[in-house]
Every structure is written in C-alpha cells, then in structure tokens.
Structure 1
C-alpha cells in the first residue's frame, strides 16, 4: 500500500488514469473522461466496438478475451506517478433476471468476475470500480459477488457498494445498477444522490425536442434518428395503446394468443408506451423493438428511435457509434446502447473517485 501523509490533498489533483475491462463502446470510459480522467485503454471481446471506443475516448481498444489478459498487459499503460483506476462491467447476462428463466446459459460467463478479481491481484491498481446488475447480490448458484468482495478485502482494499436507482443521479430511465468502489488509499463511497422525484429527468426532457417520425422512417438530418418498421397489425396495436399503456388496453381481437394465456399475463409492459413526464424504462439491447418492452414512443405511433435510445442512455449527440452512420443496423446500434454503461453513471463514479482522492491524505 502507498505510504501517505496525515493531511488531505489540496489544489491540483494527481493524474488519474483508467483502464476499462469489458469496455464495449465506451460509455463508462466516456463518462470518466468527461470529468478529466485519462482513459488509456479498453479490453473487450466484441471487435465491432473498436471504432466507437477509440474515436470517443482517444484510447487504445484491445480485442482480447479477458481470460487471456494478464497484469503486464494492463500495467504497461499506466504511468508511474498516476492514480491507477481499473474499471469494468463484466457481461451481466448470467446474473440478470432473464438469465434465471433461460435454460441455455453460457457457463463460461460466470467466471468473468473471477477473472476481474485475478487481474486486480496482478495489477494492484489504486482504485477499482465495478458496475453490474443488482441481482448479482442475490445470485445463488455461486456466490460470485461475495467471492469478488472477499478477494478485494484480502488484497487490502476498502470496499463499498450500492444499488443505484439511476433517476437519483440524473439518468432519465428507471434502471437499477450495482456499483462497487474499492480503494487502497482509504475509505471510498459513492457521492450522494443529485436528484429527487421532484426533479427527475424525464422522457420529455430528454427526447421531447426531436422531430417526429413515422414507423420505419429515418430523419433526413440525423442518421441515428431512425426507427423500426411496423406491420399493419402492430400499427393498429400501437394506435390502440394510450400513453403509459400496454397490450392490456387493446380490444380482444388485437391481443396476442400468448398474452391470453395465464403465463403471458405477467408481461404487462410489452408493446407499451412510455410516459412523457416520467423517466423511461431501462434501455436494453432490444430497446428499439415495440414488442420487447415499454419502448413505444409516448404519442407517435412507433417504437423509439436509435437516437432516442442513445439520449435516454445519456450518450451525447456528438457520440460517434459508427464510421458510417448513413447505413447503420438498428439491431447492432440497439445492442451497443443496451449493453453500455450510461455515460452519466460514469460521471457519477468519477465524481465519487475525485471526492475520495480529495478526502484522502496525500502521498509522500
């Protein structure tokens, strides 16, 4: 552990450098970069994320299986006098509520958090942040999260973790995420909430000024503002859905057979519309599909567009997702957005680290 003085830091902060594991297109990195952190590199097994990650974060994208990454591969990026941050969001599908219903689980993904723990021991960063789904806390097939926390504490890290309700931090969707912070410099915790229900950011605040679209259309001025085509039947269904409503509001002739069965009645949000003056539902990898959740536009007869999904995920309009955005795949774009850490959550994590460093006694 680094030797420290007894007085708190004053003035300019030391350089804070970040390597991002499971980086995807770089939402977490971008949020931290916007707070002045130096993003050095990302590692991910999806090679198609390279353009977005490198373009927006000015950092090296490494296409590599995390199981083949070693401490030396990461430590070569850090400089000697920096605060070294190791960040990561192991793919959450194995720990999501959907995974427990899905019989075709990928057993290899259950080990990714253990790989993260292995790299912590090899790299010995000053600070660690990990973001994942809240159900990781109650995952009972293996005590994966408990083992990860034990690994950190055994390596002399101070650890805190919270289930974050994203509207509390200015993110306009009802997403809940598990956020862990750990530091070898001293106690660390997440900053206090920045919003209350009285001033949560809403769907209207976020996408209310975008030009209207019809189902299947694309904006002539914004290549990402495009939405999926709807069949005639689905057009009838969305027209029969009030703001905040769902298939439960349809006449019987429009209701799908699967929803008439007892097992289908629990899926109350599918084919639903968002509400203007509430946060949106969680953006998923299928967030631009009408039948995949409450992803209908509040009053236009269509599902939300790629641009609307990106804004609800707090990506700025300037974020470059593709080299050529005139010929994007809506499905690929939705996967990028749904898998990403909201950049605003990356900012909150960065603000928490800055607060921690300022409250931590200085190094010699």
Structure 2
C-alpha cells in the first residue's frame, strides 16, 4: 500500500472540506490511518517540529493552537464529517500526590457544565487553576458544541484516544453524547425553531495495540461515536474493533538481571487466542519494512537474534530493567525510545533503534519522512497508524484492507515546492507561527537521524 498524490477532495462535494479533522494531530498517525482508509484529513498542530514532518509527508496542516482556533479563528477551521483527536494527557498521571486524580475529577464534573453553558465562560474560570494541558481534554467536546452553535451542525462521527487514565473522561463524554442533553436548533414543518436532541451511539474502552497488529505493547483509552439521525439506519450497532491478533502475555516477566537463558522465551498464547493471528514481533516488523528502511538511509541489519533492555525499571525497581526478545512486540515506544538498549545473544551492545525503526515499531511506514527536531518525541507521541485504521474504520463502517506483512508504504517526501505550499497554508506569512518553526531542512541533517549509536552509556540525542 503506497501513498498516491498529495491529498485532494472532490471539488463537486461542497458539504465538507475534508473527511477528518484531527485535533492535536502530531506528526500524522491518524492522518496516515485516514489516508490508507481512502479518507482525506487535515490536522491542527501547535508544535512546529511535528508540522515539518507533516509538510514533508504531504499532510494538510494548520500550525496553530487548538483553543485559539476555536475561540478566535473558527471560520478557518475546515468543515469535516469526523472529529478526531488525542489531547495531551501528562497531567492525568495518578501516581504521586494524587493531583492527577483530582484534575481528572474536576474535568469530568465540568463536562456537564459545558452542556449548560456551551460558550464555557464559567468553565474557563474554573479551569484557570489547572495545568494548561489538562484543559485540552475538553476541547473535542467544545469543538462539537461550537460546530452546533455556529450553524454547521454536529459532527457525524467522533473518534478519541488517549492513555488509560483518560478512560473516566471518555465515560463522562459518553454519558452526554448518548443522553440527548446536547441540543441543536432546527426548523419544524411550520417554520418554527425547535431544539432537537443531538444523540450519538457511543462505544469506549481500553484497548491494547498489539491486538491490532502493532508490533508494540501499548494501552489506549478509545471512544468512538456515531450520530443518530432519523434518515440513517446503520446495519449493526456501533462497537469497538474486535482484536485481530493475540494479546502478548508472558509466564514470567524477565529482566536484564535474570540468570535464565535470555532466549528461552517464556510466552504463551491462551486457548481463547488460538483463532487470532499471533502478535507481531519487532523482528517481523523491521524485516517487512527493510526495503523502506533502506531507502530512508537509516537501515541497520537486524537479521540475528537480539533482545532489548528497557530504559525503564520493572516492579518498582529502577535498576531492574525489563527485556523483550526479537520475536516479541516492542515495549511501548516513548520519546526516550533511543535509550532502550538492543543487545545480541552474547550480551554485546548493538546499535540503538533509529528514528525510522522506532516509527516502524509504531507501525508507521519505514520511509515516513520524519523531519524537524525532537523526532523521537514526535514518534513516541503519535497514534500508531495501524491501530488508527482499525478504530477509524469501525467508527465509519469501513473495512480496512491491510497489506501482507502489515507494512504500510509511504511515497516518501513530497517535493520541495509542495512542502513549501503546505507550510504557507499551515502558517501564512500574515500570521506569526505560534512556536519556533524550523524551516525547510533536509530530514537527514537532523540531529535525530545521526549515525546509530552503540553501548549502554551512549546518551539519547533527544530530550
């Protein structure tokens, strides 16, 4: 599956500018998913580095703050059928002093208040004392309310994902979306304005990405919603996508301090998983993407057995580093993925994962044109495209067509002129970009694509 020409939409279809609006779009995980489903998408993204990746990949982008776009520039927000997004979530950690849980409770309480006050002036007052990122989890709901009050009407579909801690927020979203408490004005047969219920079918839960073919263990809280319209009669109830691959389980969590033979892999496939495809391993994913990795000038031979020592501790002990074998899924890919240490079967260090390899472990195409700075953070923050295809697909009633080996193939960077056009559209000269913006620099000149490193003491090039 390869990327055709840069996205275009049917000029005869005047009802929507694009299919998908991706809030907090990052480098384009959901956009890549939308593309391979045959959908057009546009993303709003604040970080200039992530925007550079998007421009290189040919993805339509608005380089701006999501809140500013809603409050001050809503007329510039494209009209779409689908509202999607994964708001920043770091402040919802429930570890430590409990501040994250307190913030979570505050946000869920304010969801009901937003319905009573769509403009949210009172809500904004109450949010002033919270971390700025915490407030952003309300933006998808506020975009829905803005679409209604602006006269555009509600989105037909909503797709949201975030870390498991946000599950309770999605539960609160589901309650208001399904209850009919949201109203929209409509003319009745006599020409009188009546308030009509806006109701959605909703499904939400915590899903595991390795159960959808992503070569990585990662849990995500997902919500999908479909507008209930009297003119539409769906063939079946809305449900989250069913797992296609086995869940990764181990009989015993091995760590780098174990004396047991590292390649005596103790993992099993439960009886109920026998009908599913096996989980996808690091080796199988990197092997399937070898051609694309070679073309990115970022390829490292990984044909021999290897294991990976995690950058994070296990069982509460920071020195007790977990390990994963070549024929198992990767640990969750984070912005510190380059600190994970690949080792050969004799315990000798191998080159660290490159940016393009980390992207493949996130299920991005091996030749996806990562650009700008902080590329490791871009990769770690992104939605895995294969996972996005499952979630977007089931929300819209589409059946994804996956390639052999589940290796998505991108056409590579768009030409310099197209990239410049996208940058000008995303951040016009008449507007100052909201953050420092790295202008057109070749991807290979970025510090994050430098020569691969080996050894346990090498420092990550990304913060």
Find 1:266's aligned residue among 310, 313, 317: 317
Q: Verify the 8 A CA contact 1:47 1:63 in the aligned structure 2.
A: no
Find 1:111's aligned residue among 135, 140, 156: 135
Report the more deviating stretch, 197-206 or 92-101: 92-101
Alignment gaps of 5+ in structure 2: 1-14, 104-129, 148-153, 183-198, 229-233, 248-276, 301-305, 400-463
2:92 match: 95
Determine helix, strand or coil for the equivalent of 2:307. coil
2:407 match: none
Alignment gaps of 5+ in structure 1: 1-13, 139-143, 212-218, 227-241, 249-258, 324-328, 358-364
How far 1:356 moved relative to its partner? Answer: 6.8
Find 1:189's aligned residue among 210, 219, 239: 239
Q: Is 2:418 aligned against 1:354?
A: no
Find 2:371's aligned residue among 307, 314, 322: 322
The 1:33–1:246 alpha-carbon spacing in structure 2 relative to 1, beyond 3 Å, is closer
TM-score (norm 1): 0.67
Q: Deviations over 1:190-212 (max 9, x none)?
A: 2221112551110110124788x
The 1:207–1:265 alpha-carbon spacing in structure 2 relative to 1, beyond 3 Å, is same
The 1:75–1:37 alpha-carbon spacing in structure 2 relative to 1, beyond 3 Å, is farther
Q: Verify the 8 A CA contact 1:93 1:99 in the aligned structure 2.
A: no
TM-score (norm 2): 0.54
The correspondence of residues 1-364 of structure 1 with structure 2, limited to 5 A, is 17-39=19-41, 41-70=42-71, 73=74, 77-78=78-79, 84-96=81-93, 107-123=131-147, 124-137=154-167, 144-153=169-178, 154-155=181-182, 156-185=199-228, 187-197=237-247, 199-208=278-287, 222-225=296-299, 243=307, 266-267=317-318, 270=321, 272-290=322-340, 295-297=341-343, 299=345, 300-322=349-371, 332-355=374-397
How far 1:52 moved relative to its partner? Answer: 1.8
User: Aligned equivalents of 1:45 and 1:345: distance in 2?
Assistant: 23
The 1:316–1:356 alpha-carbon spacing in structure 2 relative to 1, beyond 3 Å, is closer
Q: Verify the 8 A CA contact 1:315 1:343 in the aligned structure 2.
A: yes
User: Aligned equivalents of 2:23 and 2:158: distance in 1?
Assistant: 11
Q: Deviations over 1:17-57 (max 9, x none)?
A: 11110001111111111111111x21122122222223435
The 1:209–1:353 alpha-carbon spacing in structure 2 relative to 1, beyond 3 Å, is closer
Structure possessing the higher radius of gyration over alpha carbons: 2
The CA RMSD over aligned residues, in Å, is: 3.6
Determine helix, strand or coil for the equivalent of 1:18. strand
Q: Deviations over 1:72-109 (max 9, x none)?
A: 7278523xxxx700100001212246687899x97121
Q: Deviations over 1:204-248 (max 9, x none)?
A: 10124788xxxxxxx99644458xxxxxxxxxxxxxxx8366799
What is the total number of aligned residue pairs between the two structures? 286
